[in-house]
Amino acid sequence: MRETLLKLRSQIANDLENNILPFWINLADRSNGGFYGNVTNDLKIDRMAPKGCILNSRILWTYSRAFIEYGKQEYRDTADHAYQFLKRAFWDDVNSGLYWMVDFIGNPVNKKKHIYNIAFGIYGLSEYYRAFNDPDSLNMAIVLFKLIEKYSYDSRYGGYIDAFAEDWKPISDMRLSPMDFNAPKTMNTHLHVLEAYTNLYRVWKNDELKKKLTDLILLFIEKIIDPGSFHLKLFFGEKWESLSEVVSYGHDIECSWLLHEAAGVLGDDDLKERTADIAVKMADKVVEEGYDKVFGGIYDHADSSGKDFRKEWWPQAEMIVGLMNVIEITGSDAYLAPLVKTWEFIYMNVIDHRYGEWFHSVERNGRTIDNLPKVEPWKCPYHNSRACMEFISRCNTLLC
């Protein structure tokens, strides 16, 4: 196992430092702030494309974490650039919170308050505070936490309502995207609130936050993870009735390690043990049902009509972390083969060795799906850069 992990670590570190991180530094909009919102596979930049807050917050997280790991000034400068644009363009000075989308100059064009988006603000701001000890960034993250708890928390049935209008009043359309089911509560939003609260708790040991993070872990165990299949249920009514049978393999493997990480950051031994067991069972299910044993990598999703064999960039990245996590938990090398085969699939088919970064999506056999952007409001460096940094860190721990 040692030699295999050392080889992977070298390749993954090279992709992170010489491909992913330089790519996004070059997309900073030095004239208007933020980062260009749409770029084609062959690097044609739409300089007037709107700019999404999620992309900006994920870049903020990425370069804050990269600075923690490597200490390079260019990573600090990029994190600063994202931070300044978040404060200037996305922050709602009237109603508080973060806008969904601004134009290329920084004027709001979609003022919807989506809790998923607010959570990524917390994630990026808390990481920026970890990296640079900037008190304003921590204060902003705390304000966002309090806004979620004030407006979104459901004191009757638990969990969080997905979205609100600019002034935090209820709205009828709570979808993240036109492809999503319009539901008041979703796995996806809860997963990223969990992720955000975990990161905030690293730097702000607040009792209310601790309770809310504990409640979120229990909510996943009791309501969101199916106890029979160990897949995530994705969409819910107000009372937690499941509204969808779709299985998302990328979210399953991502949740497996984020849930275990949350329990570890809390320092709760009982929850660490419970989430470790769940992480292994969820990873086993993904390997059994969603992992491509022929080509490597994991499929997009499954529903009543069968499996969607496409492979988007982000589930491949999350597979790397999820499998590494269960190797750490179990000490078993049984997960090494799918880990290696997934990385080989990424290296051969998902990484764009000509123009840089990773392709958005490929077919099962690795053929690039044309006409999908390299950069758009959802296509970001957070999944793949985090996978690289998590793998390197965990590899170093295992091999020390």
Structural contact between residues 92 and 98, judged by C-beta atoms closer than 8 angstroms: yes
Whether the CA torsion 235, 123, 60, 99 is positive or negative: it is: positive
Contacts of 207 (CB under 8 A, 6+ apart): none
> How do residues 58-108 score in pLDDT, each as one tens digit?
999 999 999 999 999 999 999 999 999 999 999 999 999 999 999 999 999
Q: Strand ranges (DSSP E) for 137-232?
A: 163-164, 185-186
Tokens linked to 359: 């392709």
Q: Percent of the chain at pLDDT above 70? A: 100
**Helix, strand, coil percent content, the chain, rounded in steps of 5:** 55, 10, 30
Structural contact between residues 66 and 388, judged by C-beta atoms closer than 8 angstroms: no
> How do residues 33-54 score in pLDDT, each as one tens digit?
999 999 999 999 999 999 999 9
Residue range 244-253: mean pLDDT, rounded = 98
Residue range 176-183: mean pLDDT, rounded = 86
pLDDT number for residue 20: 99
Q: Is the pLDDT of residue 361 over 90?
A: yes
Residue 400 banded pLDDT, cuts 50, 70, 90: confident
**Which of 44, 48, 183, 184 lies closest to 104 in space, CA to CA?**
48
- CA gap 114, 33 in Å, rounded: 23
Q: Is the pLDDT of residue 119 over 80?
A: yes
Tokens linked to 305: 């009509």
End-to-end CA, the chain: 13
Q: Into how many domains does the chain fold?
A: 1
- CA gap 304, 217 in Å, rounded: 29
Residue 178 banded pLDDT, cuts 50, 70, 90: confident
What residues form DSSP beta bridges with 306? 303
Residue range 259-263: mean pLDDT, rounded = 99
- CA gap 370, 368 in Å, rounded: 6
pLDDT number for residue 179: 77
Query: Residue 376: left (phi > 0), alpha (psi -120 to 50), or beta?
Result: beta
Residue 296 banded pLDDT, cuts 50, 70, 90: very high
3-state secondary structure of 113: strand
Tokens linked to 15: 């992709």
Residue range 139-156: mean pLDDT, rounded = 99
pLDDT number for residue 362: 99
CATH of the domain at 33: 1.50.10.10
Burial of 58 (0-12, 13-18, 19+ CB in 10 A): buried
Residue 370 banded pLDDT, cuts 50, 70, 90: confident
Per-residue CA distances from 229 to 215, 245, 281, 283, 315 (Å): 22, 12, 9, 11, 19
Residue 177 banded pLDDT, cuts 50, 70, 90: confident
Structural contact between residues 69 and 17, judged by C-beta atoms closer than 8 angstroms: no
Q: Which domain holds residue 147?
A: 2-399
What residues form DSSP beta bridges with 39? 45, 375
> How do residues 300-320 score in pLDDT, each as one tens digit?
999 999 999 999 999 999 999
Q: Is the pLDDT of residue 154 over 80?
A: yes
3-state secondary structure of 240: coil
φ and ψ at 58, to 5 degrees? -70, -35
Question: Residue type at 307?
Answer: K
